[in-house]
């Protein structure tokens, strides 16, 4: 999760972020050109999975649920703000059933205002719409937005967390436990890459009408513009979302989704080694996700089946 900058320092942080994004764009362009050449030639030697520098990951076909690549995919790990995917799933359900509406406006509750960490910068008495609250979670990963959503949907954080855990069991997330709606550090807030892929797939299939919320490069609220730590959004044409997360315990985490030629893939990467410079950490998480998705699309769409080459190079 991003630190909680003050309004006075936000513009400097944003310019620094844009510098990192420019470098990422150059790398992405080079990688895309290389991939285009290699996949056009359909060289089977290029189908070996490249090294992915992360504690655990999974690559899943969103339409079939087939697992294309995995490492430590069934072990639970700290997931930081990836937690918000369940918060958003329950919020989407509530909107779908008519409990809330995207254009409804509220003022933040006291619990949201008192929540620390990453923020969409809610202020006392400053109104926000449900749509803005959603973007406040998907882009700057606002913990205040997640706590506000919990209160609007369930009346309190404890009631909402119970619903999060009940829903997790119902949809088959058997290695997941939730303690809060925002992902602030707690030893009981863990999930496996496989479980996160299951949840991501449910969001994509149950609520495709809300997927556009995950594909915004930045979000402006209260006069502050926050960039999306998922640096692939808006820069790689086939990327459709989805959610970033960071704590010291979790490392840098990213769920990235993409679509090419009608094929939808989900990449979940947990525990990318952290850096003192948090922007650099998200750059690396985005880069690892891009490598995994690129390999997955090449393997799924263009290259012949070579099962022994699909194994990861890492144990």
- Cβ burial 115-149 (10 Å sphere, 16+ → b, else e): bebbbbbbeeeeebebbbbbbbbbbbbbbbbbbbb
Catalytic residue among 46, 118, 119, 141: 141
pLDDT of residue 60: 97
Asked, for residue 4, whether it belongs to a domain, the answer is no
Structural domain that includes position 301:
10-309
Q: Among residues 81, 175, 192, 274, which one is catalytic?
A: 81
pLDDT tens per residue across span 174-226:
999 999 999 999 988 999 999 999 999 999 999 999 999 999 999 999 999 99
Number of domains the chain is built from? 1
97: Cβ–Cβ under 8 A, 6 or more apart, which residues?
A: none
Joined together, the tokens standing for residue 194 give 């496989």
Least confident of 8-17, 26-35, 299-308: 8-17
How many Å apart are CA 72 and CA 66, to the nearest integer?
16
Binding positions for substrate: 243
Concerning whether 81 is annotated as a catalytic residue, the answer is: yes
Structure tokens at 265: 């893939």
Q: What is the pLDDT of residue 296?
A: 93
User: Stretch 261-272: mean pLDDT, rounded?
Assistant: 95
Task: Please give the torsion angle defined by the CA atoms of residues 133, 138, 144 and 147, in that order, rounded to the nearest 10 degrees.
Answer: 80
Within a domain: 162: yes
In a domain, 44, yes or no: yes
CATH number at residue 202: 3.40.710.10
Averaging pLDDT over each range in 145-154, 230-239, 280-289, which range is the top one?
Answer: 145-154
Nearest to 81 by CA among 234, 191, 224, 160: 191
pLDDT confidence tier of residue 31, bands split at 50, 70 and 90: very low
The whole-number pLDDT of residue 304 equals 60
The one catalytic residue among 46, 47, 71, 84: 84
Question: Residue for token digits 């069991």?
Answer: 169
Flag whether 3 is in a domain: no
pLDDT higher than threshold 50 for residue 313:
no
What is the pTM (predicted TM-score) of this model? Answer: 0.82
How many residues are there in the chain?
A: 315
Q: Per the domain annotation, does 134 fall within a domain?
A: yes
């Amino acid at each position: 999760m991003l630190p909680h900058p003050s309004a006075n320092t936000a513009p400097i942080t944003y310019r620094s972020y844009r510098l990192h994004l420019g470098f990422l764009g150059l790398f992405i362009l080079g990688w895309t050109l290389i991939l285009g050449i290699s996949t056009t030639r359909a060289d089977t030697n290029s189908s070996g999975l490249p090294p992915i520098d992360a504690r655990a990951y999974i690559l899943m076909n969103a339409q079939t649920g087939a697992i294309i690549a995995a490492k430590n995919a069934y072990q639970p790990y700290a997931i930081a703000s990836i937690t918000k995917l369940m918060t958003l799933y329950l919020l989407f359900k509530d909107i779908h059933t008519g409990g809330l509406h995207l254009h409804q406006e509220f003022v933040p509750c006291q619990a949201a205002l008192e929540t620390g960490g990453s923020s969409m910068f809610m202020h006392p008495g400053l109104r926000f719409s449900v749509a803005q609250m959603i973007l406040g979670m998907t882009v700057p990963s606002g913990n205040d937005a997640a706590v506000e959503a919990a209160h609007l949907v369930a009346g309190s954080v404890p009631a909402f967390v119970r619903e999060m855990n009940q829903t997790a069991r119902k949809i088959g997330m058997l290695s997941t436990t939730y303690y809060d709606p925002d992902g602030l550090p707690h030893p009981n807030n863990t999930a496996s890459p496989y479980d996160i892929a299951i949840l991501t797939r449910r969001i994509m299939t149950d609520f495709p009408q809300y997927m556009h919320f995950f594909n915004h490069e930045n979000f402006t609220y209260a006069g502050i513009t926050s960039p999306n730590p998922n640096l692939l959004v808006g820069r790689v044409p086939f990327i459709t979302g989805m959610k970033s997360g960071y704590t010291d315990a979790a490392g840098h985490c990213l769920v990235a989704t993409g679509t090419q030629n009608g094929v939808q893939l989900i990449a979940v990467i947990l525990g990318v080694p952290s850096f003192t410079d948090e922007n650099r950490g998200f750059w690396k998480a985005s880069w690892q996700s891009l490598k995994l998705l690129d390999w997955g699309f090449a393997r799924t769409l263009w290259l012949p089946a070579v099962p022994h080459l699909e194994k990861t190079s890492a144990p």
